[in-house]
Structure 1
Amino acid sequence: MIDPHHSKAPPVCLARTAIATTLAMLLAAASFGAAADDGVSPGEIHIGTSLAVTGPIAVCAGVGDGANAYFKKVNDAGGVNGRKIKFTVLDDAYSTQRAIGNVRRLMSQDKVFAIFSGCGTATGAAVLSVVEKDSIPYLFPQVGLDSLVQPVKKNVYSILPLYGQQLATAIDYAAKSRQPKTAAISMINIAGHEGWTTVIKDKLKALNIQVVDEQLIEVTSPEKATFVTQMKAKNPDMVVMVDSAPGAARYVLEMQRQGWKPKVITGINTLTDEAFLRAAGNAADDLVIAPAATLPPTEPNAKECVDALAAYDKSLQPSGFTMFGCLGAKMFVDALKRVGPEPTRAGLIAELDKTKGFESGFSGPISFSPTVHQGLTAMYPIAVQNGQFKVIGAPVPLQ
């Protein structure tokens, strides 16, 4: 006779219940493991990058800082669909071989979900040589190489406009402002420089501006006196400069030391980073007109990224590089939210291809499609006035 007050289940029932529960857990884990791509676990999405934290373009560290700051903000609010974002940054010191080794480690050992961000033209090309042979997404490096997006690669997306587009747009804008008759070209010796030089010359020819001097400078060269002396002798009205932010600042400071300056200096987005401004100081006043992918951190609409950086690490200074890192992180988070609770690489790529007019609040709109993987179509015109970057017009459509 069964005691109605006896609440314990028979041992056989308990055993069956335990077995069923264990099987259900194992099946759930197996199901998740079979469906999940590398870098995805129940509570985390792991992404990584290689960029120059040290070396000749150590200012690139700001890109990683800006992204990590935004991810911290998102993680502190609960993450994306219940998962926190883990972002691993490996230093390549602007060495192509180290960049390749870093990315291979991230893919084979750390097994990241995506190679996210990065900075540096030569190292960006090196990373591309690895990831384009794989299905892993390579997202939003601060690199303006044509080969990133031309031809379109299914797994590679860029926000930053191509350097050729930046140069044609910047030259046209600066020429309308300062009316130069002659120009000089100061070009850094990195992969792609021949094509950018051609773009510059073609644009100057179309504007009836004569090229009177042309220089090719090594990225690691700290010495600028010889180049400035040579250029000063030709006295061009405009200087078109493609260099790192520190390198460009050294050039401008040497111009000041030699008591000479052109009507205007223009070039690519490196001229609109605070690393350039802090180093060049008042030597750049009323001299530089250049394009920027994002608003300067001093603008009110940049507050979201500036505040996130301060919450992440108060010792870090906001810059164009940190703003760009923040922009890429915000775009990634938006796409990840749209993928849903079970993220896959294929799902992320599909959602990125559907991106139409994404508004960050501190850049132009970003759009992608299956046939266009370069997101920004306009950049802010920036000048240096009284030691500060100033937006001098509405975003300018790229040429």
Structure 2
Amino acid sequence: MNSLLAADRQLDPGVSDTEIRIGQTMPYSGPLSAASMIGKVQAAYFHMINDRGGINGRKINLISYDDAAMPSKTVEQVRRLVENDEVLFTFQTLGSASNIAVEKYLNDRRIPQLFVGGRATRFEDPVNFPWTMGFAPNLRTEIRVYARFILDNYPNAKVGLLYQNDESGKGYLTGLKEALGSRAGELLVSEASYDVTDPTVDSQVVRLEAAGVDVFINMAAQRFATQVIRKTAELGWKPVHLIGVGSSSIDAVLVPAGIEHAKGLISASSFKETADPTWADDDGLKRWKAFMDAYYPEGDRKSIFTTYGYSAAELLVQVLRQCGDNFSRENIMRQATHLQNVKLDLLLPELSISTSPTDYRVVKEFRMMRFSDERWEPFGPIVAD
């Protein structure tokens, strides 16, 4: 039995003898609504867990509200979750800006903000935000992995970067310059940003091509990443094209862009590509497929959102099971920060999850992958920042 498993029965708001009540916000409407699939697959996953008896006899009640990816709406909805619904903690609220907007509110009240759906470095800062933990690798970790790939394979590249004009996007720019080090001024020949309210990023793409960029790091959000792939094809521009993890979804990004234009794209992942025949006999993938068949048959099996949402929910269930009968908020954080070599169904087999009170990073490593025909193909070794 886990040595940290609390023997004493202790319940905080949001927990009864039959229920564990947790909350989140998702962009069920608005420009990022495609990402709300994450909340839908998590609701389905908890339904499966509840059908199997729940967590130590308690059913998980996920309350998921729409915030349309608007931080002001996130604040309103999270206050509703805490003050009206009295959730035990929040889980996987989506969006860096949305999570930043409620981070201090939750930390001041000592309410766990668990496995947030945002990738700013501040979500892995136990000194300043001890009640907040991320899930996916932070933005700087991802961009530094791409920088390492460029330095190793294209040391004389003319690098261009496209990013969203917000705190998270600027984290990409900072991280890239840090990773390129003394060569940043030489290699990074052009950078372009966009606002989420912009109708297109066509002009930014044209500007990057005109700068002579031959290695293009496309860190745009999904809708804009689709536009970028289309525009590069229209221009006949063929740089080495790296695309961010969050925009590597086949059905949500590549298909709308024209699958024929996606060939050769490079990205990275910490998770198995479910369409890859390599994993046809993998036990974890079989469990995922059985779940999809029974609990989320309408879900997009090619979408990174489906696999991401499933994996975050699976990890949360591990944390809750470690809690024994002590569902205090303090013990929730204690268990989340004492994970040891946890394997997930869809995590690459070489990887596992370990955390500590001084290391809030959850998923820390990647494997590079290249799009070929209709699927992503992994290549090279496991890489880390």
- Asked if TM exceeds 0.5, the reply is yes
1:172 aligns with 2:148: yes
Query: Pick from 293, 296, 299: which aligns with 1:310?
Result: 293
- Residue 245 in structure 1 maps to residue 222 in structure 2: yes
* Alpha-carbon separation, structure 2, partners of 1:184 and 1:122: 24
The letter of the residue matching 1:395 is I
SS at match of 2:275: coil
Structure 1 residue 130: deviation in Å?
2.2
Structure 2 residue aligned with 1:102, among 77, 80, 83? Answer: 77
Indicate the SS of the match to 1:85: strand
Q: Given the superposition, is the C-alpha separation of residues 259 and 267 from structure 1 closer, same or farther in structure 2, using an over 3 Å criterion?
A: closer
Describe the shift of the 1:119–1:180 C-alpha distance in structure 2 as closer, same or farther (beyond 3 A). farther
Q: CA deviation at 1:67?
A: 1.6
**Separation in structure 2 between the aligned mates of residue 351 and residue 54 of structure 1, nearest angstrom:** 33
Aligned partners of 1:185 and 1:214 also within 8 Å: yes
Matched residue of 1:135: which SS?
coil
Structure 2 unaligned segments of length 5 or more: list them: 1-7
Task: Count matched residues.
Answer: 364
Equivalent of 2:28 in 53, 56, 60: 53
Is the 2:192–2:204 Cα contact (8 Å) retained in structure 1? yes
Alpha-carbon separation, structure 1, partners of 2:74 and 2:221:
18
Question: What is the SS of the residue equivalent to 1:111?
Answer: coil
Change (3 A) 1:310 1:221: farther
CA–CA separation in structure 2 for the residues paired with 1:316 and 1:174: 35
Contact 1:46-1:85 within 8 A present in 2 as well: yes
Question: Are 1:235 and 2:212 counterparts?
Answer: yes
Quote how far apart the aligned CAs of 1:267 are.
Answer: 4.6
Evaluate the alpha carbon distance shift between residue 310 and residue 88 of structure 1 in structure 2; reply closer, same or farther with a 3 A threshold. Answer: farther
Q: Distance in 2 between matches of 1:120 and 1:101?
A: 15
The one-letter code sitting in structure 2 at the alignment partner of 1:379 is F
- Cα distance between partner residues in 2 of 1:143 and 1:313: 24
Matched, 1:284 2:271: no
Structure 1 counterpart of 2:164: 188
Answer whether contact 1:80 1:337 (CA < 8 A) is retained.
Answer: yes
Higher alpha-carbon Rg: 1
Aligned AA (1:49): Q
Structure 1 letter corresponding to 2:86: K
State the match for 2:328 in structure 1.
344
Which residue matches 2:4? Answer: none
- Kept after mapping to 1: 8 A contact 2:114/2:133: yes
Partner of 1:158: 134
Summarize deviations over 1:283-303 as a string: whole Å, max 9, x none. 1211x2222242223243434
Percent identity of paired positions between Structure 1 and Structure 2: 24
* Partner Cα separation in structure 2 for residue 181 and residue 337 of structure 1: 49
Q: CA deviation at 1:71?
A: 1.3
Cα distance in structure 1, aligned partners of 2:156 and 2:344 = 35
Cα gap change, 1:290 to 1:76, in 2 (>3 Å): same
Q: Is the 8 A contact 2:126 2:359 kept in 1?
A: no
Displacement of 1:257 in angstroms is: 1.3
Q: Aligned partners of 2:82, 2:289: CA distance in 1, in Å?
A: 31
Aligned pair 1:76/2:54, yes or no? no
Q: Matches of residues 263-302 of structure 1 in structure 2 within 5 Å?
A: 264-274=240-250, 275-280=252-257, 281-286=259-264, 288-299=265-276, 300=279, 301-302=284-285
1:204 aligns with 2:180: yes
Query: Match for residue 365 of structure 2?
Result: 378
Q: Deviations over 1:245-283 (max 9, x none)?
A: 221111111111122121x22253213223222223221
* Inter-CA distance 382–53: structure 2 relative to 1 (3 Å threshold): farther
User: Once the two structures are superposed, what CA deviation does each residue of 1:99-144 show, in whole Å capped at 9, x if it has no partner?
Assistant: 1111110001111111011221211211323212211111112211
**Residue of 172, 179, 196 corresponding to 1:219:** 196
